[in-house]
Chain A
């Protein structure tokens, strides 16, 4: 029986190819060896893990000439001319070890706000949830009982934006027409001391929270500053309606560069290291069912945050993607060059939000043209369009393993998309009116959404 099968295999005479494993940065792994052309990704994974000599086998994705190997090496190479003499480079990409499950049901609808909910944010560990609303309050919600916890009154106008400090101990909120606040990354300053805020008056202010005063004012923009990002290398990026993005050095407030190129207001920006900066020392792979506060001394937290930051950043500098009212996105390497790396066109209406995936490989852009487009995070190449919403898409959020994306839209539904298959995974109707804000908790267990119907909804598996 075995002999017959061996004969059959020999008779089939499968073509063999020389392959060499390479990581994303171009580093070679092991030496070239030959494999049959019909080898599957599972077997490639076994070989690669053996070469990497890891204790626990990592899930890996394999790419040859920018095409992913899905069924077998042979099928992927069908469309391309293969030279059997040359060694074929197969690039392996480690995927997240943990897997986040898609949310499927609404577990509670939290009422309390008396006006539309404008922003929703989970704390870096996923233990607490905060929401800002047009009724000028910021509310905290207890996630284990899914009931209201605290109501913070004090603002005199709509709360437009909320932001957690990377250590999860403090929240900043901004109100009054275009004021946005952001915290200094944990690995740079583990005490989480500085906050930056941008405003409609065109200036950016850096505040010292322990001293309680404004440390620096950065002026230069001629119109309202719409978005602000604090990078991990000590650079502050600000995008404005004057169509430019300015790069500032945070510790002394010097303007390093101005990035020009957009033809209309720049609405949104995202950094490739955003997720690592947001979650600080919290590692989603170590999440448990009951969310815990971060343990460890300041020094330990700083080290963990720095390690996570370096892992996501990779070899090159931080990348920045900006989305604008001119229907295009630009990919920049702002620490190095003031010319863009790529211009990403294709949307038919203004872009409301752009987000890098947590592993910084994919950029997702949500637009008023009802679609979400996926782009390659390194080169800016177009990957796919996710269609399904029947009205403008307002906000998106990535799951911690970069495999799922949730989007909230003006058509009152949320949709969970499977990024690998580039298809809809789950449809989440339930809101009574437009959904303005969505967030996925860093431990992957919950999605929170809020909108015009003044209700906050929590979705779980």
Chain B
């Protein structure tokens, strides 16, 4: 009886200690994610809008809070971006999604998986657009189109 209760108290203390560790670990994770999210935001805010001469940050299409980074594995991250088109019937929303994807593909140094969505309720056909901009094959087909590629390069490349 004593043995059992002793064992019980030992396992209880172990569990408490381990949960304390994981809590500290969990406290560490959000900070790394914030740094990575800021890194991602730093890259996307300078992308120019295809129609207007302003950057996406100036038009408030993307904001610091719209970027979310989660760690999947060691050194492998999931990046989720929710952007807001300027008008609810914006015809270039897919182009903006393409620009975001290409910029991060080319410039983000760490390994990442990217998901781009339109902020809920800000576009009339957001479900269709979400499907299109996250479809790998459609993105690759779009980048093979030389005129589209030219437009994307112009929006994405920063003047040095």
Contacts and interface: CB of A to CB of B under 8 A. Distances in A.
Contacts of B109: 348-349, 368-370
Interface string B96-107: 000000000111
B160 A387 contact: no
How big is chain A's contact interface, by range? 10 to 19
Nearest to A367: B109
A374 B46 CA distance: 22
B139 to A, nearest CB: 12
Contacts of A390: 105-106
Interface in B57-114: 105-107, 109
A145 B57 CA distance: 56
Interface string A388-429: 111000000000000000000000000000000001000000
Interface in A366-383: 368-371, 382
B151 interface: no
A77 interface: no
A382 B160 contact: yes
Name B's interface SS.
Answer: helix
B159 to A, nearest CB: 11
B157 interface: yes
A82 interface: no
B107 A370 contact: yes
Contacts of A371: 106-107
A256 interface: no
Contacts of B107: 370-371, 387
Nearest to A348: B109
A371 B105 CA distance: 11
A389 B160 contact: no
Nearest to A388: B106
Nearest to B104: A390
A370 B43 CA distance: 14
A384 interface: yes
A72 interface: no
Interface in B108-137: 109
B41 to A, nearest CB: 16
A385 interface: yes
Nearest to B160: A384
Nearest to B106: A387
Interface string A55-69: 000000000000000
Interface of A: 348-349, 368-371, 382, 384-385, 387-390, 423
* Minimum-distance CB pairs A-B, first 7: A387-B106, A390-B105, A369-B109, A348-B109, A349-B109, A370-B106, A384-B160
8 contacts: A369-B109, A370-B106, A370-B109, A371-B107, A384-B160, A387-B106, A387-B107, A389-B106
Interface of B: 105-107, 109, 153, 157, 160
Given A349-B109, A370-B107, A385-B160, 15 more contacts: A348-B109, A368-B109, A370-B106, A370-B109, A371-B106, A371-B107, A382-B160, A384-B160, A387-B106, A387-B107, A387-B157, A388-B106, A389-B106, A390-B106, A423-B153
